[in-house]
Amino acid sequence: MELHEKKRLLRIRTKKRKRNPSFARYESWRYKKLKNSGWRKQRGIDNKTRRKMKMGVKSPEPGYQAPKKIRGLHPSGLEDILIIHIEDLKNLTPEKHGIRISARLGARKRIKVVEYAQELGFKVFNTGYSKEDLLEIDEPSEEEEEMEEEKKDSNKKSKGKK
């Protein structure tokens, strides 16, 4: 698919999403316990939503979907890939794939993955922090170092007393 065609389809998708209704669960406005639950198909025999009457709530239908060629793509037009290890980057191409780093990854490994991905030319969708913040997390502050030394000293003193 050409770049021009992909951009056109992405524009169509954003326009359709703005026009689409929010598919709330039936009577979620009435009962507090249903407020945050997702949409569910109505099964009641007299239900106006199921019978698609004018006063019923809109139901998700195939006509609301995005164009098939770009379905599931990130708004940038790249395929969104979840990365857990650096090895996951080996079979990917920067022109087609964008990277989303797993939330399970800690700050230290996240730095390594982000730097390696940027060297290869990948777009990282969720670095999570600025590079300066990540480096601050990686290096312990002076106060933390002093506290660790005090703990070591107190442990040695307590062992010597026994």
Question: In 10 A of CB 140, how many CB atoms?
Answer: 12
The residue that leads in pLDDT, 145 or 34, is 34
Distances (CA, A) of 67 to 63, 71, 72, 96, 105: 10, 6, 10, 18, 33
The pLDDT assigned to 140 comes to: 59
What's the whole-number average pLDDT of the chain? 87
What value does the CA radius of gyration of the chain take, rounded to a whole number of Å?
A: 26
Q: What pLDDT, in 10s, does the model give residues 114-138?
A: 999 999 999 999 986 666 766 665 5
Q: Is the dihedral of CA 120, 126, 128, 132 positive or negative?
A: positive
Tokens of 96: 């087609």
In this predicted structure, what is the pLDDT of residue 65? 92
Percent of the chain with pLDDT over 70: 86
Q: Which phi and psi (to 5°) does residue 57 adopt? A: -80, 145
Provide the pLDDT for residue 161.
Answer: 58
What is the rounded CA–CA span in Å between residue 17 and residue 26?
Answer: 21
pLDDT in tens, 62-103: 999 999 999 999 999 999 999 999 999 999 999 999 999 999
The pLDDT score that the predictor gives to residue 137 is 59
Residue 132's pLDDT is: 72
Report field, pTM of the whole predicted structure over 0.85 = no
Scan for tokens 């056109």, then name that residue.
8
Whether pLDDT at 144 is above 80 = no
Convert the pLDDT of each residue in 18-57 to its tens digit. 999 988 899 999 999 998 888 999 999 999 999 999 988 8
Dist. CA 137–CA 109, nearest whole Å:
11
- The domain locations on the chain are 1-66, 72-139
The CA-CA-CA angle for residues 58, 61, 67, to 5°, reads 125
Tokens 């199921």 locate to: 50
Looking at residue 44, what is its pLDDT? 94
